[in-house]
Structure 1
Amino acid sequence: MGFTTSRMRSIVGVLLVGAALTACGGEPESDRPAVSGTAAAVPRFAAPEEIARGIDVPWGLAFLPDGAALVAERDTGRVLRVAAGRAPEPVHQVSGVQARGEGGLLGLAVARDHAATGWVYAYFTGAEDNRIVRFRPGGPQEVIFAGIAKAGNHNGGRIAFGPDGLLYVGTGDAGRTERSPDPASPNGKILRLTPDGQPAPGNPTAGSPVYSRGHRNVQGLAWDRSGRLFAAEFGQNRLDEINLIEPGRDYGWPAVEGAGGADRGYTDPLVTWPTSAASPSGIAIAGDTLYVAALRGERLWAVPLSDGRLGDPEALLQDTYGRLRTVEVAADGALWLTTSNTDGRGDVRDGDDRILRFPVN
């Protein structure tokens, strides 16, 4: 069923100025997240503005210096320029995209020096593998990293530049669990690259792109104000995770799902959810809150963040917009959110898929 603009404003105004449609205390016991940390207040956002609608499986989203956003359409391979008050404008066609299953045009990142260089980076599924290219919109593309195994699922795909100016890449195991702990495989990892696609100086193993391993399917990357990296990871049948990422650590997949691996040398997650409540894709940090866009869970989780620890998550927007893929924070502090109901697994609502902007209240 579709939502009118007034109906959406009414719902979200209630949600984001102090109360969640479904907070943790109202969840069934099996759907309550397991957490470590302390509670804190959730930031206040105003009612949403619909920036765009009718987008074909929006996946990656990255901001340009002028405040507009670039959005990746997973199945078409198009990159759209999206801004308030304007119709989405196709600005680039990524060549070689093969959209099958969960694959296609996935993450986007805008170079830190974009104003000078014009570079935009994209992670996509091609004929032979998952790979990363860079391009100037409308121009030719350059492959900077290839050889990430592909599959119908577990392709990872999130890319982002960190505070250190290096490119971080979340990959999946592409359906073969033995890849995740294997230091020679780029799959089931978080990779750390130079802007040219080379292994970054200072990585745990010299000459290797691997920053952390033992991941099943990473689709969310975000840094807090102290420069700590957090990642969202899809579980298999039991538990999804938010992890604090530290170089050289092994996060346990496939030996362990969720917590319980510390006594075997693995790093435990900070928060876990039953897979029915999350399937976490994009994450973003605004102030002292980490936001998690949930696909199967069809909600936005808000998790208080304090000194690298996470408090009790709060569920927002549950059953309001359906599957949520990407959440990002703009330079002005507004929260941008994309739905993912046209990806073959959701119930399509009128206007899907859409991009929403929640300004700071």
Structure 2
Amino acid sequence: MYRTRRSTRRLLATTCVAVVAWAGVTACGEAGDTGNLPEPGATSSAHDEEIDVVATDLDSPWSIAFHGETALVSERDSGRILELGVAGASREVGVVDAAQPGGEGGLLGIAVHEGDLYSYVTAADGDRIERRELTGGPGELGLGEVETILDGIPAARVHNGGRIAFGPDGKLYATTGDAGDTSTAQDRDSLAGKILRLEPDGSVPADNPFPDSPIYSYGHRNPQGIAWDADGTLYATEFGQNTWDELNVIEPGANYGWPEVEGVAGDGRFVDPVQQFRPADASPSGMAVAGGAVYIAGLRGERLIEVPLSDARESDTATDGYGRLRDVIVAPDGALWVLTNNTDGRGRPGSEDDRILRFDPPEA
């Protein structure tokens, strides 16, 4: 266990409505502002959970990945990959030299697969995905030679997407933003504004929805979270512009509507989100599925949002007092690790920021 100290914080309830088994649309917003969306079906319940602070003093961290039992962290602006040891101590595994930090870009998502580290990088010529062998063992990990497995993803100071993860099918999924050009999201000749699906070597899977294309879904503004439930359903979070952030169920080849629509539109050309949030209350980044619920790290909302999968309870929870949250991941022991993001230039960093928090999710 990686711990530096322990604190107990209350996980506070929010006011979001969930629809049973994702069969309909859900909403999260101000009272009287739901239009044709369903009314709240149940009262919310807050959890009292013990939260461990397992690491401190991280610099603009962006993503957590596990290599066996060892936690790795990416730092957006420094380009460093860190390995966490006992008592939360960190050591530098290596630096991703291609990372060119600026605005929301730099070293973003990381994932580990069969001993290789994958990284989503904003480089001088655009966003790309790289692969390196992880060498050595715990406490002495290093990075091998770099291989670019996909490039040509448009980059900008905003809307770079950047989350990568391996699905239960063994394929690599990546979220890309529209790079500030809204027209790219509907353009299937562009890799911007998409969710991509790749073989581990970067080649295109034969069963992708569009022949010879890594595009799995399109019409996205700036998705930054992907996760799967026990049945293999893929969920993704997406930053809205001014009206609605989204939680989507991702289907192969589907169009999620940006920039034509934002949030629930009821337009048969596009797939509506299963839950939506006011940007000030969410700004969703990383996500995980655990204990029968989707957990979403909120940046502007400064809270961890819980959306139950199986009933009409209100979503509940928020972490109180830890600031902006960038990522959440299920650790090998089943606990949730949550990454704060107060040193990214938009937060209000405290003396120990940024931190990794750990807590055990409620059982389903």
- What's the TM-score once normalised by structure 2's chain length? 0.87
Q: Which residue of 2 aligns with 1:340?
A: 341
| Change over 3 Å in CA distance of 1:29–1:129 after alignment to 2 | same
Give matches, 1:1-361, under 5 Å: 8-9=7-8, 11-12=9-10, 15=11, 20=12, 22-24=14-16, 28-29=30-31, 46-65=49-68, 67-111=69-113, 113-114=114-115, 119-136=116-133, 137-263=142-268, 265-306=269-310, 312-318=314-320, 320-359=321-360
CA RMSD of aligned residues (A): 2.6
CA offsets 1:337-356 (integer angstroms, 9 cap, x no match): 01000001011112000111
Report deviation, 1:77. 0.2
Cα separation, 1, equivalents of 2:224 and 2:40: 23
| Change over 3 Å in CA distance of 1:221–1:360 after alignment to 2 | closer
Report deviation, 1:41. 8.8
| Change over 3 Å in CA distance of 1:96–1:30 after alignment to 2 | farther
CA offsets 1:125-171 (integer angstroms, 9 cap, x no match): 00010000011232221100001000000000000000000000000
- What's the TM-score once normalised by structure 1's chain length? 0.88
CA offsets 1:46-96 (integer angstroms, 9 cap, x no match): 41221111101110111111x221100000000001144241111121111
| Change over 3 Å in CA distance of 1:23–1:205 after alignment to 2 | closer
Cα separation, 2, equivalents of 1:267 and 1:28: 23
Cα separation, 2, equivalents of 1:27 and 1:43: 18
Q: Is the 8 A contact 2:300 2:324 kept in 1?
A: yes
Q: Which amino acid is the alignment partner of residue 92 of structure 1?
A: G
Cα separation, 2, equivalents of 1:231 and 1:354: 24
Equivalent residue of 1:156, what SS? coil
Q: Which amino acid is the alignment partner of residue 177 of structure 2?
A: G
Q: Is the 8 A contact 1:327 1:337 kept in 2?
A: yes
Runs of 4+ with >3 A deviation: 21-28, 30-46
Q: Which moved more, 1:152-161 or 1:139-148?
A: 139-148
Q: Is the 8 A contact 2:29 2:277 kept in 1?
A: no
Q: Which amino acid is the alignment partner of residue 331 of structure 1?
A: P
Report deviation, 1:172. 0.1
Long gaps (5+) in structure 2: 18-27, 134-141
Q: Which has the higher helix share?
A: 1
Q: Is the 8 A contact 1:172 1:215 kept in 2?
A: yes
Q: Is the 8 A contact 2:29 2:278 kept in 1?
A: no
Q: Percent identity?
A: 49
Number of residue pairs matched?
Answer: 340
